[in-house]
Structure formats: C-alpha cells, structure tokens
Amino acid sequence: MISYSLVDFRPIIPELVLLFFTFFILFIDFAIPKAKKKINGFIALIGVAVTLVVVLSLYGSSWTGFNNMIIFDKASGFVNIILLLTAFVAILMSLDFIKREGINFGEYYVILLFSLIAMQVFCSTYNLIVMFLAVETLSISMYILTAIKRDGLRSIEAAMKYFILGSFASSFLVLGIALIYGLFGTVDLLRVKELLTGADSLHTWIALVSFVLILIGFGFKIAAFPFHAWTPDVYEGAITPMSAFMSIAPKAASFMALMRLLVVGMFPIQVEWVKLLWIIAVFTMFFGNLVALWQKDLKRLLGYSSIAHAGYMLVGITAANSLGYGAVLFYLFGYIFMNLGAFSVAEYISKKNVEGCLIDDLRGMGYKYPLAGAAMLVFMFSLSGVPPTVGFIGKYYLFSAAVKSHLYWLVILGVINSAISAYFYLNVIVTMYMKGGAKEEVVSFPSPYLRAAIVIGAVGTIIFGVAPGSVLNVALSSIVF
C-alpha cells in the first residue's frame, strides 16, 4: 500500500500553479463572447508570468515526490524557465494574430497551457512511464495546435502528417520502454543504471537496443536526422506563433529528458551512445544546413535551420561532460530569443490567411521598417553565430565542450556547418537591404504585442551575447547529475 502526503506535492508546485490558471480559463471561457477572447490570452500571459516567478523563487530546491516518480532539481528548474519564457513570447505573438486569422477560440490557450504542463513534467522525471505519459500529452496538444486553423488545407495536412508520424515514433518509444521493463523489472532510470552496471554482456546489448528504440522516439521530438522529416512541413503549415513555440519548447523539454536518459540511465554504456550520437549529430547538422540552402520560404528555412541547431546541441551532448550539458541548456535559453524573434518578424510581414512567407517578400523591408529590419539582422547574425550575439556565445561553449572531450573532427564539421549556414542567413539580410524595392509593398501586421515580442528577442539576443556571465553560470551549475 503506497500512501502519499502533502510533501509529495512539492515538486509539482509549478505545474499546479499553471494548472490552476488553465482551469480558470476553461471555466470562464463560456462567459466570454467570441470578440473578447483576448481576455483568455491575457489570463494565460499572467498565469505563465506567475508560474515563472514561482519557478524562479523555487530554483535551487531539490525535491522528489510520488515514489521518485517526479523530481524538481536545478536542471528541471532551468528548463522550466526556458519553457515559460517561450510560452510567454508565443502568447504575445498570438494575441492579435489568432483574431486576425479568425481562430480565436477559447481552447487555443487552454491547449497551449496543457502542452506546457506536459513539458514541465517531461523534463522533471527519471521514470520512463511518466516520460511516456508526458510525451503523449504534449504530442496530442501539439497535433491539435497544428490543426487549430481548421479551414486551412496546409495546416490540416501538416497536422495529419505530424499525428501519423508522431504515433509511429511513439510506438518505438513504448516498445523500448517495454523491453527495459522486461529486462530489469523497473522503469526508474536511476534503478536501471545500478542494474545495468552489473549486467552481463547479453543484457547490456539488449538494453542498448531498447535504449536505441527510446532514443528514436526522442529523436523524433528533437527532429534529429533521420527522424526529422516532419519538421519543415509542420512549421510551414502551422500558424506562425505555434511554429515558433514548437521550435523551442518541446525541444527544450525533450533535450532535458534525453540528457536524463543518456547521462543517468545509459551511463554504463556511455562509450556506445557517444559514437551513435556523433554520427547523428553530424548528419543532422549537414542535412539541416544543406537543404536550407535551397529554401524560398522563410518558415521552411527556419524549420531546416532548427534541424541544424538540434545538431549543434547534440554536439554538446556528445561531448559527454558537464560543460557540454550546461552549454546545451544555455544554447536553448539563447535560442528562445533568436528563433522566436525570427519567427516574430516572419509573422510581422505575414499576410492574412497565407501560411507561408517567401523570403523574396522581405525585399526592401530594411528600409520600410528599419527597426524590424535591424532586429531581423540581429537574429540572422545570431543564428549564424556571429559575435557579439547570444548565438555566438552558445555555439562557442557547445564546441569548446567538444574540444574538451577531444572530439576535434566533430568540432571541425560543426564549424564547417556554421560556415555553410552563414550563406542562407546572410541571404535573408541581403534580400532585406540590397535586393532593391519590393515586388509588392511589404505590409506589416500592426500588433503592439508582436512588436514587444520582436523587441524582447532583439534585446535578449544582444544582452546575453554581450554579458552572458550570470545566465551562463546558472546554466552550467544546473547540471548536477
């Protein structure tokens, strides 16, 4: 007989706070007429902000609850901060946008917050079953959010692809978990680690294959090669705030879970997974960057670019030292500002009821909207890793972690990729400033909240590029396993 006490609820305080706001929106939604659904958005914004404050004040505590099924440590605290910041900016991007597109349903924010809670759980557990539940909850929320524009062909198509491929990948995940349970009789990674340390070679190899199956499930979530194929289609088809949200939040949670899986559960077979990850990281970087060279659509470009960036972060994990893990967390943190910023600019010039956004449409934007243009310039520089932006600092620490582990070839290939990527990022800048006037006039989407999102992105990109010290230290010290 297992009994729980109030103490068990400590690690899920952030989730509970957010859950409160989510239900609050759900209940009052009936009373709010369709024209005023923005109120929901504001409540969601407040809820996220309050949760952020709660997480910040709890940061540093270390709790476990419910028979070690859920934990709250520094790492999950830091990832929580990343998730909440991302959600905050994504909601800012949505406030006016979903009204323009005629999809300002009450459930939009509710599902967004549900997915956020799932991610919070996902990054704070060592239990494979809890991970599976979280990953399913977040995936289902994501499918719905992709299809939220229910009269748009592209978004329905994208959601369908996402759903089918996602379910397919989940089957690998659940098969892997089942095998692990069959082998060791437990789904707790901490326990698996102990058992695996003393296991004979047959058990070890089967465990390895089971872990690979789980890795495939996670690889799908972080869009690593060859499990990446859904990414560009989904980013292009989904509404822009959702593409932006999806490009960071689920990845941040998945990277955290991946690190728990690799660094704790698979610790005894580190030699093997380092080799595997080395190959996956290289392919992911090359695939993302090479294909991005040919993209004409800004959102697709950012889709491929996000595959490449997942590759860079995999370099940090492949380094298999605490500097690398910390660098991954810092990179995710910086990625919020540069990537959300870039998506915000894409939204800024998007036209009503058009999912895509051609790079060619950016012509002359640098002159017509100098501030948005300058912000885009900052984001592109940061994504290609030019100092003094956060993208440079992030990449610097990822690669220096790999150097520390003597993975010189990996770093050389990574730097080559960085050079390739400069071409298509700079191409955006060239289009904005040097390709002459627009074919048709660039029109902006005049939303003050969207402007705020762009400003947050630009300021964050530069500030954390010039003075990364404090956040970097927090990120590096968050890694305690």
Partner 1 sequence: MEWLLLLCVLSPAVGCIINGLFGRWTYRAAGVIGSTFLGISFALAVPLIIYAIQGHVVDYSYYHWIVSGKFTVPFGLRLDSLSAMMLGVVTFVSFMIHIYAIGYMGGHKGYARFFTYLNLFVFAMLLLCMGNNYLTMFIGWEGVGFCSYILIGYYYEKKTAADAGRKAFVTTRIGDIGFIVGVLFIILYFGSVKFTDVFAQAHMISPAIITIITLALFLGAIGKSAQFPLYVWLPDAMEGPTPVSALIHAATMVTAGVYMVARSAPLYALSPTGSLVVASVGAFTALFAATMALTHFDLKRILAYSTISQIGYMMIGVGVGAYWTGMFHLMTHAFFKALLFLSAGAVMHAMHGVLDMRLMGGLRHKMPQVCIVMIIASLAIAGIPPLSGFFSKDVILSEALMLGHPIIWLVGVVTAFMTAFYMFRMIFFTFFGESRVPEGMHPHEAPSVMLVPLWVLAVGSIVIGGILGVKVHGHISIEHFISLTSPNAFPIVHKYSETLLIIISIIAGVLGIAVAWLAYIPKGAFSFRSFVVRTFHPLYRCFFNLWWVDEIYNFLFCRPFWHVSERFLWKAVDVKVIDAGVDDVGRVAGLTGRAVRILQTGFINNYACWVSAGALIICGWYLLKIM
Q: Binding residues for partner 1, per CB under 8 A? A: 160-161, 164-165, 168-169, 172, 202, 205-206, 208-209, 212-213, 216, 220, 225-227, 229-230, 232-233, 272, 276, 287, 289-294, 420, 423, 467, 469-470, 472-473
Output 72 or 172, the one with its CB closest to partner 1. Answer: 172
Output 4 or 205, the one with its CB closest to partner 1. Answer: 205
Contact predicate 24/113, CB 8 Å: no
By three-state DSSP, how is residue 127 classified? strand
Output 106 or 388, the one with its CB closest to partner 1. Answer: 388
Output 281 or 349, the one with its CB closest to partner 1. Answer: 281
Output 73 or 297, the one with its CB closest to partner 1. Answer: 297
Taking the complex as a whole, the smallest distance from the CB of residue 227 to partner 1 amounts, in Å, to 5
Taking the complex as a whole, the smallest distance from the CB of residue 258 to partner 1 amounts, in Å, to 15
Output 109 or 333, the one with its CB closest to partner 1. Answer: 333
DSSP structure string for 426-442:
HHHHHHHHHS-S-SS--
Instruction: Kindly list the distances between the CA atom of residue 340 and the CA atoms of 88, 242, 288, 300, 455, in Å, as whole numbers in the listed order.
Output: 11, 10, 18, 14, 11
Taking the complex as a whole, the smallest distance from the CB of residue 293 to partner 1 amounts, in Å, to 4
Burial of residue 209, with CB atoms counted within 10 A of its CB: 0-12 exposed, 13-18 middle, 19 or more buried: exposed
Cα(425)–Cα(272) distance, rounded to whole angstroms?
Answer: 35
Taking the complex as a whole, the smallest distance from the CB of residue 210 to partner 1 amounts, in Å, to 10
Contact predicate 323/473, CB 8 Å: no
Q: Where are the alpha helices (DSSP H) in 260-362?
A: 270-292, 298-318, 322-348
Cα(362)–Cα(364) distance, rounded to whole angstroms?
Answer: 6
Q: What angle is formed at CA 300 by the lines to CA 291 and CA 80, rounded to 5 degrees?
A: 110
Taking the complex as a whole, the smallest distance from the CB of residue 212 to partner 1 amounts, in Å, to 5
Taking the complex as a whole, the smallest distance from the CB of residue 410 to partner 1 amounts, in Å, to 18
- Give residue 308's identity as a one-letter amino acid code: A
Nearest to 277 by CA among 251, 258, 252: 258
Taking the complex as a whole, the smallest distance from the CB of residue 359 to partner 1 amounts, in Å, to 15
Cα(120)–Cα(86) distance, rounded to whole angstroms?
Answer: 13
Output 77 or 176, the one with its CB closest to partner 1. Answer: 176
